[in-house]
Amino acid sequence: MPRKLYLCLLCVICLLGGCSSDSPQDQLNDAVRQLQRNLDERATSAVLAQLHEDFRAQGEYDRDWVRRTLAQVFVQQPRVRFITLGRSSRVDRNYADVGHTRAELALTGGDDLLPERRRNRPYSVSLEWRREGDTWKLARLDWR
């Protein structure tokens, strides 16, 4: 094989390798980090854009509940912060389009937002994600 052709093919392979998309796990991790940034920036519309059309929280609350709740919290509690104390995410072994995140989440700066008994304790949060193409959407949210 002529040297120029070999070098050209090598360059094409390198370029194509650089264009490959992230793995589903990397994309899931990015979606989780983006959700945290959107909450930190108080970007309600960006949070809503990350929700699956069939989103449910605690098995009963929908996307409209999220919109109303975030609007109320962000207006009435301007100092509230969502702090992630630890988290882990994984793509489901049986269903490649389903992802799971577990996190410990603390809320701070919310005067009278939290019951007294919860003020110094984090919430255990479970998130279930659904992949649509290369995008992960939050489908389920549960906490205790």
Domain assignment present for 136: yes
Contacts of 81-88 spanning 24+ positions with Cβ under 8 A:
81/40, 81/107, 81/108, 81/109, 82/36, 82/39, 82/40, 82/106, 82/107, 83/107, 83/108, 84/36, 85/122, 87/32
What CA–CA distance (Å, rounded) separates 33 from 27?
10
Domain assignment present for 125: yes
CATH number at residue 115: 3.10.450.50
How many domains are contained in the chain? 1
Domain assignment present for 15: no
Q: What is the value of pTM for the model shown?
A: 0.79
Domain assignment present for 83: yes
pLDDT tens profile 64-100: 999 999 999 888 888 888 889 999 999 999 999 999 9
Retrieve residue 19's tokens.
């264009």
Domain assignment present for 64: yes
Domain ranges, residue 76? 22-143
pLDDT tens profile 99-119: 999 999 888 877 665 555 555
Domain assignment present for 94: yes
